Amino acid sequence: MADTLSNLSRLWTIARTLGRNDALIPREYLAAMPVSLKLARRIFGGGRAAKSDNTAPGLRLARALENLGPAHIKLGQILATRPDIVGSDIASALEGLQDRLPSFPTNEARKVVVAAFGRPVEELFSSFGEPVAAASIAQVHEAMTAEDPPHRVAVKVLRPGVEAEFARDLSALAFAARIAETLFAEARRLRLTALVEILATSVALELDLRMEAAAASELAERTRNETDFRVPSIDWKRTAERVLTTEWIDGISVRDIDMLRAAGRDPKQIALTLMRTFLTQALREGFFHADLHPGNLFVDGEGCLVAVDFGIMGRLDPPMRRFMAETLAGFLARDYVRVAQVHYDANFVSHRHPVETFAQALRAIGEPIFGRPAQDVSMAKLLQQLFDTTRRFDMSAQPQLLLLQKTMVVVEGVARGLDPEFDIWEASRPVVERWMLDRLGPEARLREAAEGMGALGRVAQHLPQLLRNVEVVSTMLADGGLRLHPDTARQIAEAQLKGSRYARVALWLAAGALGVIAMVWIV
């Protein structure tokens, strides 16, 4: 009962805040609303929203989430990666949510460090400075380690009470989702409870800074041979669930083009490095930094591009990587039938649509971009148009690709900020072609053949034992029938006496399968 009252109270606060910003039931949809929703809109304050406010619905929602606090800012940022759920316009607006918040006192951060390690701060750090950056979940302090010689580090500390705040709001949202799915078919279609579960999982990972440390460590390992990109090293001795310590990056932000030039760095080369690094991570490694905004990118003293903040990462499994690479390669070659076939091979598009018709739709996307100036061509926009088109051909949403596309938007924007004439296609071509050659070329075919021969070799190693098994089974059949091993017979008997129906069936099927296999081998 107490939980229900708490959830209702929090939902009332959330609804009132959304209503006052005309973000709960936006006026743009007023004409299509039933009377009940119009009444609810007035109750929660939407009816008093300033008519002079011409802000788009998505921007009003972003403003409301900022007013609701850190937990809702982070939830909005997560929703920004899911245009399949909230729509492209809303997702684009939520991308602008500001994650720069007032810092909490340094003495509170020191208490978090003491609680995390059970030791005084002075035993870990010889100096622990004021916060240099503060976001919705954590803030960062510059510090020096208590070692000889000391190391300059960045210490990320979770906001006090942030876990409880997220737990409260997620509980309220889950409560609302369950009610909505009980009352409304549309809510069931949208699977709102599943959405809240996804948000809860994402938030739980981000609230455990050990997971962020692990993501940074994995990406560093995967890119250790890169000469123009690197990841800050993790100080595992000073990292815990609520504290993350990394190497301090003394570099120039990619935002500051004048400082980059003054340091002798070429912004055009940095843009090229960024795009190729991102695509290499996505296609070759299947593991990419999914939050590559300018605040997370620096150029160090050696001219190396350095990324920080690994709270949001993306993964592409091998089939999805192949799909993405072949799609991009097909557009680069203007081979729309091939791009269409890739979608069909992956079972992304319903086979009731002719391949030729889908290829025609893809041509309508690709052809307008060729022959245009480089600065007018957007790969991110092409991918968005591609996903919009595939929905019309019954393609279900692919969360892996959606996160990739959203990251592409950000990367493309940063690259264009560094080089307004950036040619995204020419920058991408070597990475895509290299991947195609490595995975689909003659050498790849030879590797596949070698792996196949290796598998055959492993089977051949067991062939003598298989032949001996066949001989035993043959002898048993000749002596009057197949006899089970005493242990197997005992397990079946025990299952009959006290096991479930499903366990009995499984064991008897297993026993029967042995007989069938034996017969096949004998034949």
Indicate the range of 161-170, 190-199, 372-381 predicted with least confidence: 372-381
Instruction: Kindly list the structural domains of the chain, giving each domain's residue range(s) and its CATH number in brackets, ordered by start.
Output: 2-94 (no CATH), 100-248 (3.30.200.20), 253-455 (no CATH), 462-522 (no CATH)
Tell me the average pLDDT across 139-143. Answer: 96
Tell me the pTM: 0.72
Q: What size, in residues, is the chain?
A: 523
Statement: residue 382 has pLDDT above 80: no
- Annotated active-site residue 291? The verdict is yes
* pLDDT tens-digit map of 342-368: 988 888 887 888 899 989 998 988 888
Q: How crowded is residue 242: how many other Cβ atoms within 10 Å of its Cβ?
A: 22
Q: What is the pLDDT of residue 188?
A: 77
Q: What's the whole-number average pLDDT of the chain? A: 79
442 burial (CB, 10 Å; 0-12 / 13-18 / 19+) is exposed
Of all residues in the chain, the percent with pLDDT exceeding 90 is 30
Helix/strand/coil for 152:
strand
Residue 184 banded pLDDT, cuts 50, 70, 90 = confident
Longest dimension (CA), the chain: 94
Reference 308, options 292, 296, 293; nearest CA is 296
Residue 395 banded pLDDT, cuts 50, 70, 90 = confident
Q: What is the pLDDT of residue 228?
A: 94
Helix/strand/coil for 137:
coil
234 DSSP assignment: B
Helix/strand/coil for 160:
coil
Task: Give ∠ CA 175-177-182 in degrees, rounded to 5.
Answer: 100
Q: Which residues pair with 153 in a beta bridge?
A: 143, 247
* pLDDT tens-digit map of 472-500: 545 544 555 544 444 444 444 444 444 44
Statement: residue 521 has pLDDT above 50: no
Statement: residue 236 has pLDDT above 90: yes
Catalytic residue among 22, 169, 235, 291: 291
Question: How distant, in Å, are the alpha carbons of 137, 212, 240, 424, 506 from that of 140?
Answer: 11, 14, 15, 33, 55
